[in-house]
Structure 1
Amino acid sequence: MKGLNAKQNKATNLRLVLSQVVTLGPISRAEIARNTQLTKQTITNMVEDLLSVNLIEEVGVKRSEGAGKPSKMLCLNKKACYTLAVRISPEMLELGLYYVNGEYLTKITHHTDTAWHVDDIADEALKLIQEKKLDHHSVLATGLSIQTGQGDTLFQYQASKRLQTELSQRLAMPVAVETTASACAAYQMLFGEAKTLHNFIYIHLGNKVEAAVVYDRQIMLGTNGLTGALGDIFVTPESSKSTGELGTLNEFASLTSLKKYIEKFDKKPVVSVKHLNPSKHTASKNWLSQATEPLRIAIHTLESILNTQTIILGGDIGEQCLDFLISQLRPFIPSIAQQGDRDIVRLIKVPNNDDVPMAGISTLPLHAALNDKNIQTLYTPPTSTQSKVQQLIYITQ
C-alpha cells in the first residue's frame, strides 16, 4: 500500500507507517519511505507522533553498506499499552489481558451453560484490570469474539454487533469485533506464520467451522461482514432424513458434531475436547476419520476458487487430535494449488494452537488501527474519554 502525501490524509499515512513498524520492524525511516513512497518529512512527522505516545520505540542503529549515516531502527513497544480479550461461546467465557503485541499477561476462564449478561462480562473484565493494578487508560481497547450455540451466521453476526456496542459503553473503551478465525488470521499477519504472506486462508475448527480469507493482507469481510462461514458449504450429496438438506461441513468437522458424536458413543457428556487423545480414545478417533474427507473437500474447494499462497489450520480442538486430523488429510485432493511454482506448503498447522485464539482476539484493537478498512470493526462509545494513544491511532481523518 502506498501513502498519500496530503495533509487531509494524516490518518491513512499514520496507519501505514504504524503497519510498517508492526509487521516489518525493526525497520528504518528510510525503509518505510521506500516501501510507502511517502516523503521524508511525512515519515518524520508520523514517526514523531507515534514516538510521542511511546507506541513505537527506537531500538538501535543499522549501519549502511555505503558511506551513509547509520539508520535508527523502529519497532513496536509492546509495553506501551495493554489489550483486553473477550471470547464468548455457549459453554464458557474467556477473558485475558495482553501486551499490545499479543503476548500473554493474565487470563481466566469461566465455564457455564447459561448465557452471560453484558453487565456480568464487563464486571469480570474490570475486575481483571483492577487485579493487575492497571490504569483504565493503559488498556488500548477490547477485542471481542462471540460464537452462539444457535442460529445461523447472520444471527451470530447480529449478536456480536449488539454485544460490541453494549460492552463498549459499559467498559467505556473501544471494542473491536471479529470472528475467531479472522482474529487468528490478524494475529498470524502481525506476529505469526503469515507475516510475509499476502494471500492466505485461516481455517478455525470451533463449534462452527470458520474461515478467514486474506487477500493482499486484508481480511475480506464481505457484505454485512458475513464472509467466512465455511461450515455452511455442502460436502456430501446425501440429504438429511429429518430436514431434507444436504450435509454441511459443520455436521462433520465442527466441535459441536464432535461433542454429539462422543456423547452418543460414550453415553456421557463431554467435559472438554482439548485433551482428547485419538490413540487412546476410540470415539474421537472415529470422529476424526469421519471428518477427514469432508474437510479435504472443503480445502480443495478453497484452493480451486481462491488459489491463495497457503491454508493455515487451527482451532479449539486439542493438539493431538489436530495432528491426527492433518495426517489423515494427506494426500490432499489434486487442485490448482499443485500447479506452478510453490515456495510454501499447501497446508500449515498453526503453532501453539491452544494459545492462538485468545492471542488473536487480543490483537484486534491493534489490527483495527492499521488500515482504513479495518477501523470499521471498531466501535468507540461517544461518551468515553480517550487516551493519547487512542486519540492518535483511532483518528478517522
Structure 2
Amino acid sequence: MKGSNAKQNKAINLRLVLSQIVTQGPVSRVEIARNTQLTKQTITNMVEELLAAKLVEEVGIKKAEGAGKPSKMLVLNKKAAYTIAIRVANNELEVGLFYLNGEQINRLHTLVESENLLDKTAYLVDTLVQVDDIDKSLILGAGLSVETSDDSAINGYTFNKQLQHKLANKLQLPIALETSASACAAYHMLFGEAQQLHNFIFIHLGLRVESAVVYDRQILLGQNGLTGALGDIFVTPETDEKTAELGRLNDFASMASLRTMLNLNGVTQEELIAHCAVNKQLDLWVEQASEPLRIAIHTLESLLNTQTIIMGGDVNEILLEKLIKQLRPFIPSISQYGDREVVRLIKTPDVANITIKGLAVLPLHAALSRKNMQTLHIPLELGYTELQQLVFLSE
C-alpha cells in the first residue's frame, strides 16, 4: 500500500507506517520509505510520534549496503499497552488479557447466561486487571466474537452488534467485533503465517464452519457485516428427511456436528476436546467431515484462487492433523496451475489458542487501517488515553 505525503493524510500515513513496523519489523525507515513511497520527512515525523507514544521501539542497527549509513531498526513494542479478548460461544464465556502482539498474560473461563453476560464479562476483566496488577488505563481495547449454533444469521448479527455496544459502554473500552474466522485471519496477517501474503482464506471449525476471505490484506466484509458462512453451503445431493433440505457443511464438519455424533451436547469445549482424545468414534467423524470439507475447499479455490487456505478452530493438534491427512489428496482445482509460492493448505500453529489470540489483536488490527476501523465501536463518553487518541483518532 502507498501513502500520501499531503498533510491532511496524516492518519493514513501513521497507520501505514505502524502497519509496516508491525508486519515487517525489524524494519528500517529506509525500507518503510521504499515500501510506502512516503518521503523521508513524512516517515521521520510518523516514527517520532510512534516512538514518543512508546508504541514502537528501536532495537538495533542494520549495516547499509554499499557506502550508505547504518539504519536503526524499528519493531512494535508489545508491552506498550494491553488488549482484552472476549469470546462467547453458546453458554461459555472466555476472557483473556494479552500484550499487543497476541502474547497471553492470563485468561479465565466460565459458564454464562445471556442475562448476566455483561456483568460476568466485566467481573472477569476486573479480575484479570487485579490479579496481574496492570494499569487499566493501558488497555488499548478489546476484541469480541460471539458464536452460537442458531441458524438465524441476521438475528445473530443484530444481537452481536448490540452486545458490542453494551460491552463497550460497560467496560469503557473500544471494542472490535469480528467472527472467529476473521479474528484468526487478523492474527495471521500481523504475527502469523500470512505476514507476507496478500490474499488467503482462513477456515475456522467452530460451532459452525466459518471462513474469512482476505484480499489485498483486507478482510472482506459482506452486507450487514455478514460474510464467510462457509458452513451453509450444500455439499451433498441427499435431502434431510425432516427438513427436506440438502446436506450443509455444518451438518458434517462443525463442532456442533461432532457434539451430536458423540452425544456430548451438554459439555464445555474443553471437555469435548478432552473426550475426543480417547473416543474411538472420533475417526468416524473425521471420515464424515473430510469429503464435505474437500468439496468446500475446492469451491473456495475455484471461486477465489487465493495464495493459500489456512485451517484451524476449536480442535486440538491431533484432531486437526487427522482431518487434514484425510482431506488429501485434494480435489484438482484451478489453484494447482501456474507457479505457487505457498502450499494449498496450511495447518495453523498453536491451534488450541489461535482464536483467543486472534481476538486479542483485533484492537491493533483496527488501528492499522481506516477500513478496519469499521469493526470498532468506541463509547461516546470514553476518556481517551494518549495512545487511543493516537491510533484511533489521529487526523
TM-score range, shorter chain: over 0.9
The aligned residue for residue 219 of structure 1 is: 219
TM-score under structure 2 length normalisation: 0.96
1:383 to 378, 381, 384: 381
CA distance in 2, matches of 1:396, 1:333: 48
2:353 to 352, 355, 359: 355
After superposition, residues 136-215 of structure 1 pair within 5 angstroms as: 136-215=136-215
In the TM superposition, residue 132 of structure 1 has moved relative to its aligned partner by 1.5
SS in 2 for 1:285: helix
In the TM superposition, residue 355 of structure 1 has moved relative to its aligned partner by 1.1
In the TM superposition, residue 128 of structure 1 has moved relative to its aligned partner by 1.5
* C-alpha contact 1:184 1:356 (8 A) present in aligned 2: yes
* C-alpha contact 1:14 1:46 (8 A) present in aligned 2: yes
**Aligned residues: CA RMSD:** 1.5
* C-alpha contact 1:263 1:270 (8 A) present in aligned 2: no
CA distance in 2, matches of 1:220, 1:43: 29
In the TM superposition, residue 117 of structure 1 has moved relative to its aligned partner by 2.3
Residues 69-122 of structure 1: CA distance to partner in whole angstroms, max 9, x if unpaired? 111110000000000000001131111000001101001111357664212212
* C-alpha contact 1:368 1:374 (8 A) present in aligned 2: yes
Residues 120-153 of structure 1: CA distance to partner in whole angstroms, max 9, x if unpaired? 2122212211222211211100111111232422
1:305 matched to 2:327? no
Which region of structure 1 is more displaced relative to structure 2, 128-137 or 324-333?
128-137
For 2:233, the aligned partner's letter is I
- Number of aligned residue pairs: 393
The aligned residue for residue 275 of structure 1 is: 274
The aligned residue for residue 109 of structure 1 is: 109
For 2:378, the aligned partner's letter is T
* C-alpha contact 1:276 1:321 (8 A) present in aligned 2: no
The aligned residue for residue 295 of structure 1 is: 293
CA distance in 1, matches of 2:282, 2:115: 28
* C-alpha contact 2:23 2:190 (8 A) present in aligned 1: yes
CA distance in 1, matches of 2:275, 2:336: 33
SS in 2 for 1:394: helix
* C-alpha contact 1:91 1:113 (8 A) present in aligned 2: yes
2:344 to 335, 343, 346: 346
In the TM superposition, residue 269 of structure 1 has moved relative to its aligned partner by 5.0
In the TM superposition, residue 63 of structure 1 has moved relative to its aligned partner by 1.1
The aligned residue for residue 236 of structure 2 is: 236
The aligned residue for residue 62 of structure 2 is: 62
CA distance in 2, matches of 1:153, 1:116: 23
* C-alpha contact 1:90 1:114 (8 A) present in aligned 2: no
CA distance in 2, matches of 1:240, 1:116: 37
In the TM superposition, residue 396 of structure 1 has moved relative to its aligned partner by 5.8
The aligned residue for residue 76 of structure 2 is: 76
For 2:273, the aligned partner's letter is K
CA distance in 1, matches of 2:121, 2:281: 35
Residues 344-376 of structure 1: CA distance to partner in whole angstroms, max 9, x if unpaired? 111110011001110110000000011110011
Unaligned 5+ residue runs, structure 1?
none
CA distance in 2, matches of 1:232, 1:51: 46
CA distance in 2, matches of 1:125, 1:159: 21
TM-score under structure 1 length normalisation: 0.96
Unaligned 5+ residue runs, structure 2?
none
SS in 1 for 2:272: coil
